[in-house]
Amino acid sequence: MVFGLTALAVVAYSGLSLLFKALASRTRPAQMVYASSVIATICGLIYFIASGESWSWPAAILAFLAGVTFYFATIARAKALEHSPASLVFAISNLDLVIAGVVILLLPAAWNALQFGSVTINLPSQAGNPTIGNVLACILTAIAVLIGAQVKGSETLSKATYVCLGLLVISSFAAVTYARNFGAQIGLLMFVDFAAGVIPGLHLTPQVRRHEWGWGAVVGLVTFGGFIAMMHAQALSDAATLPFVLLAINLKTPITAIIAVPLFREQLTARKIIAVSLATLALFIWQI
């Protein structure tokens, strides 16, 4: 069951990466992402109601922060894909997990429990406990980003890629904090996380064209399916299988890169190969 859900998540996220690139020249980023968020929110609301979970404002606020930053990060990534190679865009932007992990390592231990009135939020602080793997992953991440920035010509990474990465770091940190405090409330996370992408885009409703609603529905359904598969795969995993689940999910980076080169006729340059390889290796080492 766990490995089936993991495989489903890998296929969904790899497919999404390629779909975003394919749609970059056919749809407008903000409108398409908004349309997909609407569809995913409807699915999330149905799941939340069916799960029978109760409402929690602290959990909802964290889920909203994770969702709204992910929404704007997705728009930035869609814009980046208009002029930058999919393999590099996703290899670099997927490093949010490592960078968010670095932030967690740098947080003071005293911040483990922050009090907001009567509510205590436990931040995932691991101050003073970096492993050799953590350090190596950080170094590989830095090198991958630097090499990616040096790729020139038609393969140059746009600034939107780095905007996307920065926003995804915030989203990942909020999601990890949510999991630490409200890990059992998956339904609430799914609903609020997706709804957070609808609220700032409400003004776009009359601007969305029919074909953008169509493609948005496809993206929204795949996003929801991949997300629910990933969350349940992690929830059903024990201490022995969880690292392998996380490693497998990160296979979306090399899979996207391998397929994107022939599919979108991307140039196969040494710098691109090195950047994608180092980014993938950094993700794997971080999860070990």
**Which tens digits make up the pLDDT trace of 7-28?**
999 899 889 988 988 898 889 9
Q: Is 8 helix (H, G, I), strand (E, B) or coil?
A: helix
CA angle 258, 156, 165 (to 5 degrees): 75
pLDDT on residue 127: 56
b (16+ CB within 10 A) / e for 70-98:
bbbbbbbbbbbbeebbbbbbbbbbbbbbb
pLDDT on residue 117: 66
pLDDT on residue 239: 62
**Which tens digits make up the pLDDT trace of 160-211?**
999 999 999 999 888 888 877 887 888 999 999 999 989 999 999 999 999 9
| CA quadruple 5, 7, 8, 9: dihedral sign | positive
pLDDT band of residue 35 (cuts 50, 70, 90) is: very high
pLDDT on residue 213: 96
**21-25 contact pairs (CB < 8 A, 24+):** 21/81, 21/86, 21/89, 21/260, 21/264, 22/264, 23/78, 23/215, 23/219, 24/78, 24/81, 24/82, 25/82
CA proximity to 200, closest of 72, 81, 103, 95:
72
pLDDT on residue 156: 74
d(CA 27, CA 212): 6
What's the average model confidence in pLDDT over 224-241?
Answer: 81
pLDDT on residue 75: 92
Tokens, residue 141: 């991440």
pLDDT on residue 182: 84
What's the average model confidence in pLDDT over 102-117?
Answer: 70
pLDDT band of residue 128 (cuts 50, 70, 90) is: low
d(CA 240, CA 243): 7
d(CA 21, CA 23): 5
Count of CA atoms in the C-beta half-sphere (13 A) of 29 = 17
pLDDT band of residue 144 (cuts 50, 70, 90) is: confident
pLDDT on residue 110: 64
Amino acid identity at 24: A
pLDDT on residue 64: 95
pTM above 0.85, yes or no: no
Residue 102 contacts residue 265 (beta carbons within 8 Å): no
Instruction: Please state the φ and ψ torsions of residue 115, each to the nearest 5 degrees.
Output: -100, 125
Q: Which residue has the higher pLDDT, 227 or 46?
A: 46
Q: What is the mean pLDDT of the chain?
A: 84
What's the average model confidence in pLDDT over 244-262?
Answer: 78
- Is the pLDDT reported for residue 126 higher than 70? no
